Chains A and B, each alone.
Chain A
Amino acid sequence: MKKLFSLILALAMVFALAACGSDSGSAPAAAGSAPAASANGEDAAPAASGQSFNIGAVTTGSTDATSKPLYDSMEQAIKALGCNYIESAMEEDSGDGVLNAVNNLLSTGVDGLIVPNVASMYGLIPTIADLCEQNKVYFSLFWTNLDEGTEEYDACMNNPYFISTTCEDDVYSGYWAASVVGKLGVEKICTITLPDGFTTTNMRNEGLEKACKEYNMTVLGSCSDVSLTTSSAGGTTITEDFLAAYPDTEAIVVLGMSQYVLPGIAQALEDANRTDIQVAGIDFNEYQQDYMNSGILDGIIGGHFAGPTYSVILMVNRLQGNPLAESGVILRDSFIELGSAEEADEYATKIYGNCLYTDEQLANCLVSNNPDFTYDDLVAIADAYGLEDILSRTQG
């Protein structure tokens, strides 16, 4: 009896973990097991060159307002370009988690691999590069900045199987978010940041400092405590603490975790009758439109979803024997900036949940379909990315 219940419990756990991935129909690999090929791959559009490749994606398992559109967009691109999408969700948000997911995908015999950057992963980039070279699998990274002269840069750039890395300019996002309140004449601010020590945290803080100098703002207090920054209730607590510790604060700049803390911040400001405090943030939240319409949120920057899509384009062209670049490339991923309620409305009603590029636009990025397409064209597409660009392309 006990053994039977133990077995039931173990099975329940396995099913629950398996369910904790994309709900788009693709099958994430359970922890420690090899990933299964996407069932949706069969429904993919025919390959432009007649060849179909298996492209594996390591995912964080997260479906917040930043992660979900990114993974959806990447999956759409893989399928639109006639390839099979195979997903392996990380069992934990760590370098080990990435490495296990990479090994799972390599063991299924993927032709290409797309890997995100997570905490403590930088040191593993050379290992991942070696693994891909040994298995003769092309690979791309996202959310990853490679600095020239570093071991990681050399490991990728000298690797014949390295396709690309995409990363957003987080100094800019930090600067933009802080500038939103700076332009409103704010001088004293408090900040909610990502955990200390991460490259993204440092970059966003650098952007914040730049805006502070430009608009003569002072950071009174800051909180990066993950036990608070990962929940709405935590957002309420942080805001209450800011209001108690710094009653003269004029703005709260959320340099990360907006997807969690924004409802709590709005609630705390409303409860304290301090809706005069300006709020700006980085990373999209599902309800940002409501907060911008109610006047609580003054601006939010995010929507850096398209990087992996560009990597898919580069990878499929390479797999089809039509490389757009002779060696690996670093592509800058652009943001969507929502500085007004109207822009937030447009984003919510016309973009969120829809594709960033149509299947036809993606297919046009294959040299096999469009012989004139070049790497410069892809860079131009990436540079143009933004609210107006998406609206003009997808709304006709």
Chain B
Amino acid sequence: MKAKVIGQKIVATLIIPCAVYLLFLILRPQVFGQTSLIWTLFNQSIANIIMAWGLSFEMTAGNMDMSVGAEMILGSLVGCMFAKTLGIPGIILGALLVALIIGVLKSVLSALINMKTMIISIAYTLILGSVGYLVVKGESVIITSDQTTLGKFPYTLIILVVAGIVMYVLDRFSVFGAHCRALGGNENLAVVAGIKKKTVETKAIFICSIYAALSAIIYLSRGAGTAAQTGLSSMSTVFGAMTGVFIAMILVKYINMTVGIVVGVVSMNIITIGLIALNMPSSMKDSVNGGFLLLLMIINDIIQKREADKLYRAASMTRITEEQAVAAE
């Protein structure tokens, strides 16, 4: 029985990325036949995976924070400024300092203002975008090549593993993780049961800021530079991570959120590189990604309906058997 469950989990983990990969392997075997591509795909996904892990607590609790991208960009800008004098430690210090300040501010404001996070996060996006612009006076900033170490193996992997373990523990074994799920499942019931909604939300916001900082370190180190994005343009950096969380939410019945997000983000990245490998217009990416998400939701819905039917039939059979047994007596 245990082996069957483990088998199901492995299948659930691998089926989506493998199916997508297989599709592109058939279409472009010369590209998707390279083993090095798998590492490239994984390495490209790390920044988004970490951001998605951070976002997942808020999203599980039923909130949407669109300002994480702006926060991540601001962290990378400040990290880049600090790197000029402090080198690599400056990148870490700058990103974490921004996360600490913004995380605390957002948490405090969230506790004080009773407003939908979706709306308030747009205000945060605008503010953080402008602050980033002022920090670098509107110019793009770069780091030197030897300061990009944290964007390379094995450092990306170390950051990923550490962030992943913390995410897994918080999600599976902490009261906070359970409270997030309870709020996302049935908010009224959770509040009646004694869960303090504001406390959970503020913790989720702060954790998300810390994960945004880790994402910023990799984002800056990989690109060797960054630029301020004013207005709502930074929101485009959040969508990749959000899609990963959505896919993980579909898969959460079979695998845990931590792994589900990895599956989601990597799968979306396979599609991106697949479209480039097929030389298809980039404008198709959004349609393909949206269609892919829709397809997963439809398949999940069909599976759930079938399982519900199976249960219903089993319950009916039990009732009939019991009635027959009573009649026989």
Interface residues of A (CB under 8 A from B): 1-2, 5-6, 9-10, 12-13, 16-17, 19-20, 23, 61-65, 68, 91-93, 195-197, 219-228, 230-238, 240-242, 244-246, 259-260, 263-264, 266-267, 270-271, 285-287
Q: Is the CB of B276 within 8 A of A241?
A: yes
User: What are 22 residue pairs bridging A and B, where the CB atoms are less than 8 Å apart in the complex?
Assistant: A9-B123, A20-B129, A23-B138, A63-B133, A92-B231, A92-B232, A196-B281, A222-B282, A225-B272, A227-B236, A228-B272, A230-B229, A230-B236, A231-B229, A232-B142, A237-B44, A240-B40, A241-B44, A241-B277, A259-B227, A260-B140, A270-B145
A-B residue pairs, 6 tightest by C-beta: A63-B138, A232-B223, A233-B223, A263-B225, A16-B130, A267-B224
- Which A residues are in CB contact (< 8 Å) with B113? 2, 5-6, 9
B115-155: which residues lie under 8 A (CB-CB) from chain A? 115, 120, 123, 126-127, 129-131, 133-134, 137-140, 142, 145, 148, 151-152
Of B109, B219, B273, which is within 8 A of A233 by CB? B219
Of A225, A232, A244, which is within 8 A of B31 by CB? A244
Of B37, B134, B140, which is within 8 A of A244 by CB? B37
Q: Does B312 contact A (CB under 8 A)?
A: no
Q: Does B230 contact A (CB under 8 A)?
A: yes
Closest to B80 in A: A232
Q: Is the CB of A266 within 8 A of B233?
A: no
Q: Once the chains are docked, how many angstroms separate the CA of A206 from the CA of B206?
A: 49
- Which A residues are in CB contact (< 8 Å) with B227? 64, 230-232, 259-260
Q: Once the chains are docked, how many angstroms separate the CA of A93 from the CA of B138?
A: 17
- Which B residues are in CB contact (< 8 Å) with A235? 223
Min CB gap B110→A, angstroms: 10
- Which B residues are in CB contact (< 8 Å) with A264? 222-225
- Which B residues are in CB contact (< 8 Å) with A9? 109, 113, 120, 123
- Which A residues are in CB contact (< 8 Å) with B279? 219-222
Q: Is the CB of A196 within 8 A of B137?
A: no
Min CB gap A391→B, angstroms: 23
Closest to B136 in A: A63
Closest to A233 in B: B223
With contacts A93-B231, A220-B279, A244-B40 taken as known, whether A12 is within 8 angstroms of B127 at the C-beta atoms is: yes
- Which B residues are in CB contact (< 8 Å) with A237? 44, 222
Q: Once the chains are docked, how many angstroms separate the CA of A260 from the CA of B236?
A: 15
DSSP class of A's interface residues: helix, strand, loop or mixed? Answer: helix
Q: Does B287 contact A (CB under 8 A)?
A: no
- Which B residues are in CB contact (< 8 Å) with A236? 151, 222-224
Q: Once the chains are docked, how many angstroms separate the CA of A62 from the CA of B281?
A: 27
Q: Once the chains are docked, how many angstroms separate the CA of A285 from the CA of B113?
A: 42
Min CB gap B24→A, angstroms: 10
Closest to B216 in A: A233
Of A12, A227, A231, A245, which is within 8 A of B223 by CB? A231
Q: Does B324 contact A (CB under 8 A)?
A: no
Q: Is the CB of B276 within 8 A of A245?
A: yes
Q: Once the chains are docked, how many angstroms separate the CA of A240 from the CA of B272?
A: 12
- Which A residues are in CB contact (< 8 Å) with B85? none
Proximity string of chain B (177-217) to chain A, C-beta cutoff 8 Å, 1 when within and 0 when not: 00000000000000000000000000000000000000000
Proximity string of chain B (275-308) to chain A, C-beta cutoff 8 Å, 1 when within and 0 when not: 0110101110100000000000000000000000
Q: Is the CB of B142 within 8 A of A287?
A: yes
Q: Is the CB of B112 within 8 A of A2?
A: yes
Q: Is the CB of A19 within 8 A of B142?
A: no
Closest to B226 in A: A232
Min CB gap B74→A, angstroms: 12
Q: Once the chains are docked, how many angstroms separate the CA of A241 from the CA of B229?
A: 24
Min CB gap A47→B, angstroms: 30
Min CB gap A93→B, angstroms: 7
Min CB gap B132→A, angstroms: 10
Q: Does B47 contact A (CB under 8 A)?
A: yes
Closest to B238 in A: A227
Q: Once the chains are docked, how many angstroms separate the CA of A195 from the CA of B285?
A: 12
Q: Once the chains are docked, how many angstroms separate the CA of A65 from the CA of B140?
A: 9
Q: Once the chains are docked, how many angstroms separate the CA of A195 from the CA of B286?
A: 13
Q: Once the chains are docked, how many angstroms separate the CA of A91 from the CA of B277?
A: 37
Closest to B273 in A: A241
With contacts A222-B279, A233-B220, A271-B152 taken as known, whether A5 is within 8 angstroms of B127 at the C-beta atoms is: no
Q: Once the chains are docked, how many angstroms separate the CA of A267 from the CA of B146?
A: 10
Q: Could you list 8 further interchain pairs (A-B, Cβ under 8 angstroms) beyond the known A241-B276, A244-B40, A245-B31? A: A1-B112, A9-B109, A16-B127, A233-B220, A237-B222, A240-B40, A267-B222, A286-B140
Of A195, A221, A263, which is within 8 A of B277 by CB? A221
Q: Once the chains are docked, how many angstroms separate the CA of A231 from the CA of B76?
A: 11
Closest to A190 in B: B276
Q: Does B174 contact A (CB under 8 A)?
A: no
Q: Is the CB of A20 within 8 A of B130?
A: yes
Q: Once the chains are docked, how many angstroms separate the CA of A98 from the CA of B276?
A: 33
Q: Once the chains are docked, how many angstroms separate the CA of A287 from the CA of B224?
A: 12
Q: Is the CB of A227 within 8 A of B130?
A: no
Q: Is the CB of B142 within 8 A of A241?
A: no
Q: Once the chains are docked, how many angstroms separate the CA of A225 from the CA of B232?
A: 17
Q: Is the CB of A197 within 8 A of B283?
A: yes
Q: Once the chains are docked, how many angstroms separate the CA of A238 from the CA of B283?
A: 15
Min CB gap A264→B, angstroms: 4
